[in-house]
Structure 1
């Protein structure tokens, strides 16, 4: 009986190692533009919490603690009328008291068209929005990007009032 149990355990372990080894890591690079629309009749980023008791003059202090929920369009080019490839959905919060606009972002980038249709990846991290280039970690994914990890580089392409177009270059490691 003990031999049979040991044999089954060894076989189960061997099969799990074999199955894991059979997975080959892939690298995918994606470029797209996110449209963060705060103003106008159809905003895609809406402030849902923030300070209501602020009486000072510093806009940084006034913004600290603001939380926005977003459902931003993703396109292949900077023009919002270019081909849509998905949505960025989640929240961001103004997280800096220093003289630097910094957001804590929890976003899922969901692809609804193109070669990555039906797949997602998620970003969780700090975004110092006034820096020319920002690096943020990819912490997971679904579909083609299951078990994803990696990073995204973001650059503000244009900004009009508070509406922004952000270019993303993403490197994903996945199976």
Structure 2
């Protein structure tokens, strides 16, 4: 590795370590409240919707911005797609919209189809209109169920934590187009 890359990597590792240490050293407001006899946290908010990823046709909602190198050990390792995918109430494309999934996913597994997925779920209808949830995690679309952590949010979901369970509802192996069912559980 070049000297600049090693320096950058070392800086990032130290930054992550410092943030992690700070998170473990300072009690959260919720933990302090529980120690003072505050009321127990409420049940998580459950959101259910469908994600439509279209990479084919004249109007794709996800586009490849980096293709895997010729030397890639798998057909997707090293690939990067950017997405602005619709979220709907039901599995049909014409179902009532609830928002958009905006972000990217990249092939990050050499042995199987696995992605690092980073996205904002931007809600455009209903009780959470104008709010967002941020998800970041591993997504292996051929697994029956995948779990992505919720790492934050805005609006009604400010300081949110939780997880999303993803299940492939429909996948076209020829095009790569897919519809994925999301069950998201969020606490604040």
| 1:172 matched residue in structure 2 | 186
CA shift, 1:124, in A, is: 0.6
Q: Secondary structure at the match of 1:115?
A: helix
TM-score, with length taken from structure 1: 0.80
Spell out the pairing of 1:116-135 with structure 2 (5 A cutoff): 116-135=128-147
Q: Within the alignment, does 1:162 sit opposite 2:176 as a pair?
A: yes
Greater radius of gyration (CA): 1
CA shift, 1:51, in A, is: 2.9
Q: Partners of 1:71 and 1:24 in 2: how far apart?
A: 37
TM-score, with length taken from structure 2: 0.75
CA shift, 1:23, in A, is: 9.8
Q: Secondary structure at the match of 1:64?
A: coil
Across the aligned residues of Structure 1 and Structure 2, the Cα RMSD in angstroms comes to 2.0
Q: Greater relative contact order (Cα 8 A, min sep 6): structure 1 or 2?
A: 1
Please list every run of at least 4 consecutive aligned residues from structure 1 whose deviation after the TM superposition is greater than 6 angstroms.
Answer: none
Q: Partners of 2:96 and 2:86 in 1: how far apart?
A: 10
CA shift, 1:25, in A, is: 4.5
Q: Partners of 2:53 and 2:187 in 1: how far apart?
A: 26
| 2:52 matched residue in structure 1 | 35
| 2:118 matched residue in structure 1 | 106
Q: Which has the higher strand share?
A: 1
Q: Within the alignment, does 1:67 sit opposite 2:80 as a pair?
A: yes
Provide structure 2 residue ranges, at least 5 long, that are not aligned to the other structure. Answer: 1-28
